[in-house]
Amino acid sequence: MTTRTPLRPARSDRVPSVALAGVHGFGRTYVDRLGARAAAGRLRWTGVAEPRRQDGVVPAQVPWFDALPDLLAAGAPDAVAIATPLPTHADLAIAALRAGSHVVLEKPPTTGLAEFAEVLAVARECGRLVQVGFQSLGSAALDHVRDRVARGGVGDVTGYAAAGCWVRPRSYFTRAAWSGRRHLDGRVVADGVVTNPLAHALATALAVAGRTRVEDVTAVQVDPYRVNDIETDDTTSLVVSLREAPDLVVAVTLAAAEPGEPFVVVEGTRGRLTLHYTLDVVVEEVPGRPPLVTRHDRFDLLDDLLGRAADGGPLRAPLVAAGAFTRVLDAVVTGPAPRAVADAHLRRTPLPGGDEAVRLVGVEEAVATVLRERRTFAGCGVAWTR
Ligand SMILES: NC(=O)c1ccc[n+]([C@@H]2O[C@H](COP(=O)([O-])OP(=O)(O)OC[C@H]3O[C@@H](n4cnc5c(N)ncnc54)[C@H](O)[C@@H]3O)[C@@H](O)[C@H]2O)c1
């Protein structure tokens, strides 16, 4: 079954102007989206801000600035998309908001609670919107899961979980100065597995639970490890206590044997819902009947921002709803440093070009154990935590 939720285009005849900060890396996805929408006459692409100039990356007629303040000084667009390194997010978002632009801010929106509160306050003061680039929150699959829970489809909820087993080679952690760092040049970076590459797992689980504000998280147990030669964590479990809701357990790694689809689970007294959030697929399992698989549409969060800026409706992923995520991020970045896993538990596979992948033997089973026992890796007594 495929649900079709109508997309909500901008209800305005005026074509909005949009600029982009950060062009290379993930910014390329914005380059493609801005290019397609500009070609279709849906927006005016008024500039990019990016210190690393390179010909042929953006259309020649799009003005290129080395820094966002220069772009804003030349004329603030209706919206700015920010796809830059994590420690730059807050300053760039505040600059854009103060200039009068709405903002799409890539995840994680900020690297701590103080910056989060500051950006939120500036947005309110300036009367501007901030959409956070958790694209999984644009999925109608999320609405479907919430609806099934509200209708009692799996009975009373007994727990939430999020899991992800990805593979990231050594080159992933050397691609930028900030990769794999907890801090850099005196600033928090927060490039750990649960705060950056698999951040969607945590953010989506909190959204499914309807616990998205800072105050919705009452306690966080952090159990971080690293198998790569990095400063931050690449294999982490959490137990997140939620206000007036069952706990959320999270188990994620970048050191799996094979890349797997990450997922969020709602456990209930009658059954279970599994949201495969990168695929917009939901599996509902209730004993005594075959699993029910549904596929859903996804709203583009840039389109959503432009639409809601025009019609005043609620955003799919507003900054305020990244509060609970940021509360957990803050607990991770201010919590214990990740422990290096002993070499005996690791397998190293050489890759082309001198690259290498490090596998943590049995991490998939350990992730499954965390979800089953609803405790951290260490709490479950997993071998490599001892
Ligand atoms: N939503 C997703 O699925 C997803 C996936 C990957 C990355 N991201 C996010 O995108 C952002 C960028 O990640 P990345 O891996 O592409 O990083 P990156 O370091 O590879 O690229 C960032 C780009 O920003 C530029 N830049 C740096 N400082 C700048 C500044 N002050 N002003 C303008 N440009 C500046 C860099 O030169 C570079 O081109 C991060 O927030 C990351 O978490 C999101």
Whether 8 shows a pLDDT value over 60: the answer reads no
> What's the mean per-residue pLDDT of the chain?
96
Confidence band for 46, pLDDT divided at 50, 70 and 90 = very high
What is the residue extent of each domain of the chain?
A: 2-135, 140-298+345-385
Confidence band for 66, pLDDT divided at 50, 70 and 90 = very high
pLDDT of residue 267: 98
| Tens of pLDDT, residues 271-316 | 999 999 999 999 999 999 999 999 999 999 999 999 999 999 999 9
pLDDT of residue 5: 40
Q: Are 297 and 282 in contact (CB under 8 A)?
A: no
pLDDT of residue 129: 98
DSSP β-bridge partners for residue 359: 347
Dihedral over Cα of 140, 282, 166, 213: its sign: positive
For ligand 1, the distance from its centroid to the CA atom of residue 274, given in whole angstroms, is 30
Whether 116 shows a pLDDT value over 50: the answer reads yes
Query: Quick one: average pLDDT of 186-202?
Result: 96
Q: Which atom of ligand 1 lies closest to the CA of 84? A: 24
pLDDT of residue 12: 54
3-class SS of residue 103: strand
Distance of CA 244 to the CA centre of its chain: 24
Q: Tell which one of 26, 57, 137 to mutate to probe ligand 1, the residue whose CB is within 8 A of the most ligand atoms.
A: 26
Closest residue by Cα to atom 21, ligand 1, is 25
Query: Quick one: average pLDDT of 353-381?
Result: 97
Closest residue by Cα to atom 28, ligand 1, is 84
- Let me know if the fold of 2-135 is the same as that of 140-298+345-385: no
Q: Is 165 in the pocket of ligand 1 (CB under 6 A)?
A: no
Confidence band for 223, pLDDT divided at 50, 70 and 90 = very high
| Tens of pLDDT, residues 118-170 | 999 999 999 999 999 999 999 999 999 999 999 999 999 999 999 999 999 99
For ligand 1, the distance from its centroid to the CA atom of residue 86, given in whole angstroms, is 7
| Tens of pLDDT, residues 101-114 | 999 999 999 999 99
DSSP β-bridge partners for residue 219: 241
Whether 203 shows a pLDDT value over 50: the answer reads yes
Whether 7 shows a pLDDT value over 50: the answer reads no
CATH architecture of 140-298+345-385: 2-Layer Sandwich (3.30)
Whether 363 shows a pLDDT value over 50: the answer reads yes
Whether 37 shows a pLDDT value over 50: the answer reads yes
Dihedral class, residue 155 (left if φ above 0, else alpha if ψ from -120 to 50, else beta): left
Q: Which atom of ligand 1 lies closest to the CA of 28? A: 16
| Tens of pLDDT, residues 70-80 | 999 999 999 99
For the chain, percent of residues with pLDDT exceeding 90 = 96
Q: Is 385 in the pocket of ligand 1 (CB under 6 A)?
A: no
Whether 1 shows a pLDDT value over 50: the answer reads no
Confidence band for 14, pLDDT divided at 50, 70 and 90 = confident
pLDDT of residue 356: 96
For ligand 1, the distance from its centroid to the CA atom of residue 90, given in whole angstroms, is 13
CATH class of 2-135: alpha beta
Q: Which atom of ligand 1 lies closest to the CA of 133? A: 1
Cα–Cα distance list, 374 to 120, 139, 197, 221 (Å): 33, 27, 22, 12
361-364 long-range contacts (CB < 8 A, ≥24 apart) are 363/165, 363/235, 363/253, 363/255, 363/256, 363/257, 364/165, 364/256, 364/257, 364/260
Q: Which atom of ligand 1 lies closest to the CA of 21? A: 33
